Amino acid sequence: MRRQLLFTALGAAIALTSPLAGAAGDELNFDAYREMLADGNPAELLEMEGEELWRTARGPKNATLEQCDLGRGPGVVEGAAAQLPRYFADTDKVQDLESRLMHCMEAQQGIPSAEIINGQFLKGERGKLAALVAYVVTHSKGKPIAIDLSHPRVKEMYDMGERAFRYRTGAMDFACSSCHSQDGKRIRATQLPNITKPEGAAEGWSSWPAYRVSNSQFWTMQHRLWDCFRQQRTAEPVFASDVTIALSVFMAGKGNGAEARWPGVKR
Amino acid sequence: MASPMRIRAAAKDGVTEVRVLMSHVMETGQRKDSSGAVIPAHFITELTAKHNDRLVLAAEFGPSVSTNPYLAFKFAGGAKGDKLVVSWVDNKGDSRSDEVQIA
C-alpha cells in the first residue's frame, strides 16, 4: 500500500514538473492507442439505437422526433450538432444539443423534461437522450465547428461561460482553469487540454461525446461536464442548466473552425 | 432480445474484409455488485460468419473478451452484393444473427 502510494505520488510529481520530458512519447502512445480503438468505436451501437429512437413514435403523444428542429430546420440532422449551442427563437434560449433534444421530446412526444433533469446518467429517458445524441453528433463528424458568436444572446453565454471557467469555488478552491489552462499537463494517463487556447478548446469540445473503453459507457458533453464539476470538488450542476450551456458555448466558440470528430473514443 | 450488430464487409482484389461490432454485456462472472452479490456470467460463446452458405469463420469466445466486442477479419473470396451473415450464441442461450451485403 505504501509503495503504491509512493509510486502514485512520484508519478504525479513527474507529470507535473517535467511535462516536456514525458509529453512527446506519451502523446504518441495515446494516439496509437486511440487509433486502434477508433475503428470499431462501440458508440456506433448507441448511434443505431438513437436513429431508431428518432424515428419511433413514443411518449404520451405517440410521436416521433422527425419534426424536431435542431437549428437547421425541422428534421435536419446533417451538420446540426456542429452549430450547437445556438439561439432558438421558439424557446427564447441558447440551447445545446441535449437541452434542445429534451425540448423536442417534451414538445413533440410529451415526455416531461423534469423526468430527464431529475434522472440519472445512462438511465431511463436521460439514457435514451444520450443515444439520440450519439445519432445526431455522428452526422456532424468531419464538419467544422461553427458557433454563431455574432448573436448577442450567444455572446452573452460565451462571456458567462468564460467567467464560470475561471470562477474558483468548492472545497479545493479550484476553477476549471486550475486544471485546464496550461499546456502539456496530464492526470494519470489522460492529457488535459489547455482550454484557454483555441486548439485546446477544440480538442476538448470536438472529442466528446465519447465512448469510454475503461467502463464501456457512452458519455455526452453534459456527462463530461458533470464529472468535471465533481473533479473540481464543487456542487453538481443541474442537468442542462445555464452554467453547463454557458461553459459549452465558451468551449465550442473558442474552438470554432476545428473539425468535429464525434463520437470520440476515450480510455 | 439482443440488439443488432453493426457489420461492414468490403471486397477488394478477391479478399473481403469484415468488421463487426456486437452489442453484448460480456459479463465475466467474476464481478460483484454493490451489495456484494456475484454478477452472473453472461458472455458470447460461439460466433460464426457465412459467406452465402459457406462457413468462413468459426470462433470461440469467452469471458475475457470486452463488453461490446469488436471483431475484424478477412477471408478469400466474396464479391460485391454477396450475402454475409454473422451469428453468435451466448452462455444463456441467447443468440443473434445479422446479415449484410458485401460492398
pLDDT above 90 for A147: yes
Among residues A164, A181, A186, the alpha carbon closest in space to that of A235 is found at A164
Domain assignment present for residue A145? The answer is no
At A16-38, the pLDDT tens digits run 333 443 444 455 466 677 777 77
- How confident is the prediction along chain B (103 residues), in pLDDT tens digits per residue? 688 999 999 999 999 999 999 999 999 999 999 999 999 999 999 999 999 999 999 999 999 999 999 999 999 999 999 999 999 999 999 999 999 999 9
> Quick one: A18 and A48 in the same domain?
yes
The per-residue pLDDT for A29 is: 61
Of A143-147, A204-208, A263-267, the poorest mean pLDDT is in: A263-267
Residues contacting A101, CB < 8 A, separation 6+: A65, A68, A70, A129, A132, A133, A136
Residue B73, chain A, CB below 8 Å: the answer is: no
Average per-residue pLDDT in chain A? Answer: 89
Query: Which sign does the torsion angle of CA A182, A183, A184, A189 carry?
Result: positive
Q: Is B6 on the interface with A (CB under 8 A)?
A: yes
Q: What is the reported pLDDT for A27?
A: 52
Nearest to A40 among B4, B67, B70 (CB): B70
Q: What share of chain B is helix, strand, coil (3-state, %, to 5)?
A: 0, 55, 45
Do A114 and A12 have their domain in common? yes
Residue A222: inside a domain: yes
- In this prediction, residue B3 carries a pLDDT of 86
Q: Residues A58, A183: one domain?
A: no
Which residues are within 8 A (CB) of A253 and not within 5 positions of it... i.e. 6 or more apart? A147, A149, A154, A158, A161
- Please indicate, yes or no, if residue A146 is contained in any of the structural domains: no
Which residues are within 8 A (CB) of A156 and not within 5 positions of it... i.e. 6 or more apart? none
Residues A199 and A255 in one domain: yes
Question: What 3-state class would DSSP assign to B96?
Answer: strand
- The answer to whether position A143 is within a domain reads no
Position A2 scores a pLDDT of: 42
Chain A residues whose beta carbon lies within 8 Å of the beta carbon of residue B21: 40, 42, 44-45
Tell me what ipTM this predicted complex has.
0.76
Q: What is the CATH number of the domain that holds A202?
A: 1.10.760.10
pLDDT tens-digit series, residues A80-119: 999 999 999 999 999 999 999 999 999 999 999 999 999 9
pLDDT (tens digit, 9 = 90+) per residue, A150-196?
A: 999 999 999 999 999 999 999 999 999 999 999 988 887 778 999 99
Let me know if residue A10 belongs to a domain: yes
Residue A15 identity: A
Same domain, A130 and A175: no
Q: Of A138, A167, A201, which residue sits at a domain end?
A: A138
Q: pLDDT-derived band of residue A238, with 50, 70 and 90 as boundaries? A: very high
Domain assignment of residue A11, given as a range: 2-138
Give the cell for residue A89.
427563437
Write down the pLDDT at residue A7: 37
**Residue after which a domain boundary falls, among A138, A164, A188:** A138
* Same structural domain, A210 and A261: yes
- The whole-model pTM stands at 0.86
Q: Is residue A78 part of a domain?
A: yes
d(CA A95, CA A83): 11
Tell me: do A104 and A188 sit in the same domain. no
Give the burial class of A191: count Cβ atoms within 10 A of its Cβ; 0-12 exposed, 13-18 middle, 19 or more buried: middle
Same-domain status, A171 and A243:
yes
Does residue A29 sit within a domain?
A: yes
Clarify whether residues A115 and A217 are in a common domain.
no
Do A132 and A212 sit in the same domain of this protein? no
In a domain, A92, yes or no: yes
CB pairs under 8 A between A and B: 27
A176 is catalytic: no
Instruction: Specify the DSSP class assigned to residue B46.
Output: E
Q: B6-101 sits in which CATH class?
A: mainly beta
Structure confidence at residue A186 (pLDDT): 84
Domain boundaries in chain B? 6-101
Query: Buried b / exposed e across A117-143, counting CB within 10 Å, b at 16+?
Result: eebebeeebbbbbbbbbbbbbbbbeeb
- Residues A158 and A257 occupy one common structural domain: yes
- Is residue A49 located within the same domain as residue A164? no
